[in-house]
Amino acid sequence: MCPGTAHVESMSRITFGYTRTSTGEQTHDSQLDALTAAGATRIYTDTVSGTVAAMERVEFSKLMDAAREGDEVLIVRLDRLGRSVPDILATIELLEARGVALRSLDGIVTSGPMGRMVTTVLGAVAALERDLILERSRAGMAAARARGTHMGRPHSLSPEQRAHARELRAGGMSYARIAQALGTSKRTAVRVTRDVEVGGSLAAAELDTQRRISARAAKRLTLLPGDRAVADNL
């Protein structure tokens, strides 16, 4: 490659700037001034919380559409990319995958050996942060269970309704009728009463009816079509 070609390629590289504020009451002025002084020629600005993923921000998405391999993105601080280390690391990895370097005015650069070291450290910190969050979540759930707090989806029936459902089932009422009486689904009725020992004449009658229906159906399968009318009158 001749020197002239290298010069043209270097001149075609663009230094983008990116600023972010969380609310409309904050201004981008100080960030814009700093990035312009540092050489940014095309600056994109977002007014959005740092908890929103970078690619879900309107202006940052436009920046990514415009950036090409060899370009550079300039920011004043890493926290302009996101609030958490995992989010910041994900954005850095996205830029690296496209061959775009990131440079922060607080001294962090993602290109070259030092940049790779920074990315590695951020990855380790992100993993530690995820582990700590998981550990705190598990500890919180264990403490809640110890206090008797129900975990997961809320019950569709109150404790009084569940107790009433169990009484109805113990008295022989069917799941379908329990569900209708309590305004819930049959699946819920089954779940809250599955360990109840059924008793009473109603349950016995239902069971006997079900057995007779099954026996009748089985007998029909063994008869010729002309004989089924006779079986239906049995």
Q: Measured at the alpha carbon of residue 167, what is the angle toward residues 166 and 170, in degrees to the nearest 5?
A: 85
Distance of alpha carbon 89 from alpha carbon 71, whole angstroms: 19
Contact between residue 36 and residue 43 where contact means Cβ atoms under 8 Å apart? yes
In a 10 Å sphere around its CB, with 0-12 CB exposed, 13-18 middle and 19+ buried, how is residue 16 labelled? Answer: buried
Active site residue 22: yes
Of the residues 22, 61, 111, 156, which is catalytic?
22
169 conformational bin, left if phi > 0, alpha if psi -120 to 50, beta if neither:
alpha
**Residues noted as catalytic:** 22
